[in-house]
Amino acid sequence: METRKLGNSGLKVSAIGLGCMGMSFSYGPPADKQEMITLIRSAVDQGVTFFDTAEVYGPFTNEELVGDALAPIRDKVVIATKFGFDLSGPDNRPGGANLNSRPDHIRQAVEGSLKRLRIATIDLLYQHRVDPMVPIEEVAGTVADLIRQGKVKYFGLSEAGAQTIRRAHAVQSVTALQSEYSLWWREPEAEILPTLEALGIGFVPFSPLGKGFLTGAFNAETTFGSDDFRNKVPRFNEENRRANQALVDVIRKFAALKQASPAQVALAWLLAQKPWIVPIPGTTKAHRLHENIGAARVQLSATEIRDLETAAAAITIQGARYPEQAQKMIDR
């Protein structure tokens, strides 16, 4: 697989990474650990070098999974994880946990992540959500200290607004921003992408397949398990899924022309936006992993991109992308 650099940092990763969250968290019961270890190692065999996790996924169990899977091949991969939630309370889910990016908590979180991931240095450390109670300069300064200590290599932000990105970058170079971006969530194009380009920061889109919706695997009648996060996402209620199916239909038409799958077209579109964009689709299935990796070989011409964007822009996507409580954690 081709590699890409995340902005001006020099951090080189595979053009498509692997988001590991869903293996342990958010989309139903955790998958079998040994099967997921096999899947992660298969990803490496197919050219993936970039793996994404966070302490809150599980919590903690996803980092342990990633650490166990990648320990034998640590020198071949880039591991990204995140801090930013206080998981000491009774409700340790992202929607219910308190934000906490105080310097002492960041240091504590990093020590825990290093142990669970079985590594000496975190390649890319993100602030998971901006904490309005802690100045971003303090957060960046703390991570800068951790970089000097050799515990972290690169600093990232997640779901941060343009002003926050600039303030953090002035203290410690930000290597990557991780936020949602896909054909059904294009808000980053207005302000975030120009900011990243100006500062030389890479972009790592999560949910590049719209939490699975853009694969075409779901319709209005699809039901999700009681512990699947999508049950709480307004964009996934039955009425909105029915309306949003129009976007999937558009992607399907382009996929047929390219002899590719809808997922591959959706990912290829992202890759075509900027050379410093690296999506991290997640999966628990070997055939989906292979399919997603294959997107790196799908080339869209300038005309195809324009036609796809024009058709997609004619569709008004229905429903918020997060429940109200989680929406409040998005920095503007």
Residues facing residue 178 across a β-bridge: 158, 204
H or E segment at 155? strand 152-158
Residue 319 neighbours by CB distance under 10 Å:
15
Q: Which of 35, 13, 42, 77 is nearest to 290 (CA)?
A: 42
Q: Does residue 57 have an active-site annotation?
A: yes
User: Can you tell me the distance from the alpha carbon of 53 to that of 57, in angstroms, rounded to the nearest whole number?
Assistant: 7
57, 126, 154, 322: the catalytic one is 57
Q: Find tokens 């053009």 and name the residue.
A: 15
Catalytic residues: 57
